[in-house]
Amino acid sequence: MTQERNGGRFVGVLLLGAMLSACSGPASTATPASASPAAPVSAPAASTPVVTGLPDFTVLVERFGPAVVNVQVTEKRAEAQPMRGPQLNPNDPFYDFFKRFGIPNPNGGGRGNAPPARGEGSGFIVSPDGYILTNAHVVRGASDVVVKLVDRHEYTAKVIGQDARTDVAVIKIEAKNLPTVKIGDPSKLKPGQWVVAIGSPFGFENSVTAGIVSATARTLPDDRYVPFIQTDVPVNPGNSGGPLFNMDGEVVGINSQIYSQTGGYMGLSFAIPIDVANNVREQLVKSGKVSRGRIGVSIQDVTSQLADSFGLDRPRGALIGSVEAGGPADKGGVKAGDIIVRVDGKLIERDAEVPSLISGIKPGTDTQIEVWRDHAVKKLTVRVAELKEDGEKTAATAGQGAEEQGTLGLSVRPLEPEERRQVKTEGTLVVEEATGPAALAGVQPGDIILGVNGTPVKSIAELKVAAKKSGKTVALLIQRGEAQIFVPVRPGN
């Protein structure tokens, strides 16, 4: 990993003193006897400070720092491919020249294997017999893993298992009576709370950095299964896999990712909640693999316009764009256009919360899902299935797109039977042209219209009627590519 080191920068602060001004003219030295004494001015009430003092992390570091380890990794060496062609004869006058100076044989015979790549990260001991949590990307492709403790004892570690979806790995060293961390509850974290990271940034073992929680349940691109804890704790290359502590000295997360333009600290660091990591750890130790739940739906966030079109009080929940035919959600009565508002009693605010919740449910378990449908909450029971590693199925593919739908700015036509068979769609209307409101909303030629505000439409006439019944916003359910999404369109006049 290439590391950049920024030069120090001195920031000066200019303090401006108060400006004193002299009064012009002679100063008054007497008060007329007839003048009434001035009324006493009441002092302003002292305000109670919101924050008092700064925290002291000394006890936390002394007690739990010894359970944080440095993880050194040697990656498997790539075999160099020799060049094809005739080899130099040992009797050749240039043979000793090439051999002496280590120059590759120009007619074949490379220099041998490439040197092994080395890297390092952090980890923390979770059991006295040597189980350690770290990041999967720290030990991925490793041929040798060495764990160094604070007391400088070193152990060769075995990789018990790793999970790419959550970036969690479990490694094990053969030792007893090791210091361990205390596990906390990340659901109690709130933005603004102090947190501490201990790790090996740039190889500086057991470095301590501190900051505050910026957000919880943050979703990153391509990481739909982890509700990250976002902090401003200085985290740099080498911190990966190290613990994030709360002020009670409990581990609430594993430092995993940074948002950076230089590869170094930029004030945005992300940690995997420890409950997610522990679930992965238990499964890896027990069976060597991770089993996740799925219900077979595609979802999207609920915008203000979509909330208005579905009659929801405010933007919240996860809008279902498509339901896998014959999948768990389909069997449980879930429909496209439903908005998931609760899963097993847990309130859903954003769509990003659903994948991590569902994936954490054991396959075969019945889960209670509350959805918003037809301006009312409906309770459904769905039996969770297992998520396969090749990903979740989604419904159908796309087609192409004539009748003008005035206020929406849509020109649509019915799909021919052969077209429907080719694109494998249940829809019957395809967009030929999108202008005005539809174009502004992102509708594109070739989109297949499946429904309006959760109601399926099969004809141009049904589309017109459904659009007229809508309020300020029309939620078009469209099929594009291999996805189904709702697009909110504000009709024109």
**Domains within the chain, CATH numbers bracketed:** 182-287 (2.40.10.10), 293-386 (2.30.42.10), 403-489 (2.30.42.10)
Give me 451's structure tokens: 């429904």
Q: What is the pLDDT of residues 351-405, one digit of tens each?
A: 888 988 898 899 999 999 999 999 999 999 999 999 876 433 322 222 333 444 4
Q: pLDDT tens across 393-448, in order?
A: 322 222 333 444 457 878 888 887 767 777 778 888 888 778 778 888 888 888 88
- C-alpha angle 196/200/205, rounded to 5°? 105
pLDDT at 415: 81
Q: Which long-range contacts (CB under 8 A, 24 or more apart) does 427-430 make?
A: 427/399, 427/479, 428/458, 428/459, 429/457, 429/458, 429/459, 429/460, 429/463, 430/399, 430/400, 430/401
Stronger pLDDT, 131 or 43, i.e. the higher one: 131
pLDDT at 47: 61
Indicate if the pLDDT at residue 260 is higher than 70: yes
Does residue 24 surpass a pLDDT of 50? no
> pLDDT tens across 451-490, in order?
888 888 888 888 888 887 777 788 888 888 778 888 888 8
pTM beyond 0.85: the answer is: no
| CA–CA gap between residue 356 and residue 351 (Å, rounded) | 10
Residues 133-179 have pLDDT tens digits of 999 999 998 889 999 999 999 999 999 999 988 999 999 999 999 99
Minimum mean pLDDT among 99-103, 246-250, 468-472: which range? Answer: 99-103
Residue 204 pLDDT exceeds 80: yes
Per-residue pLDDT tens digits for 168-199: 999 999 999 999 999 999 999 999 999 999 99
Question: Which residues are part of the catalytic machinery?
Answer: 137, 167, 240
